[in-house]
Amino acid sequence: MQQSTVLLLTFRKRAKFFKLVQSDCCLWKDEGHRELLRSMLMTASDICAITKPWPVQKRIAELVATEFYAQGDREKWEFNIQPIGVMDRENCSRLPQMQVDYIDGICAPLYEALASVCESCSPLKDGCGNNRKHWQHLVDSKMKD
């Protein structure tokens, strides 16, 4: 299955899960509801680096960005195509803002929804929130320069 198809399916399930959580009608005896929860827990584990202590999270983000930039370089020089923003080395100074956007758009909503149905997921939500503060501080510091 192509990555874009997997992402599309993930975002569809995510939208259903958020709607279910907001409706406050989660019936965990319902297999469909449990399947949505399992899917979201898998996604949460896939992106859990964003919840780690700040020094670890920052280093992981830098390593991932380095891999993305290498992929973008290859796309640019070998295939003559413009890479997407997060893979374009010319955007490397924007890493803190890209991380804030990633947290706001992808990570925080998921961890907040999970924490609302499973209190033991609260540390993930809290770690994500703490790292957002650190990334935002870097954004704000850069704007002062």
User: Which residues, 6+ apart, have CB-to-CB distance to 134 below 8 Å?
Assistant: 54, 57, 58
User: Which residues, 6+ apart, have CB-to-CB distance to 95 below 8 Å?
Assistant: 61, 62, 65
Q: Would you give the distance in Å from CA 60 to the centre of its chain?
A: 13
User: Which residues, 6+ apart, have CB-to-CB distance to 78 below 8 Å?
Assistant: none
Residue 46 annotated as lining a ligand binding site: yes
Residue keyed to tokens 């992981």: 60
- What does residue 79 show for φ and ψ, rounded to 5 degrees? -110, -5
Q: Which residue ranges make up the annotated binding site for Zn(2+)?
A: 46
Q: Which residue ranges make up the annotated binding site?
A: 46
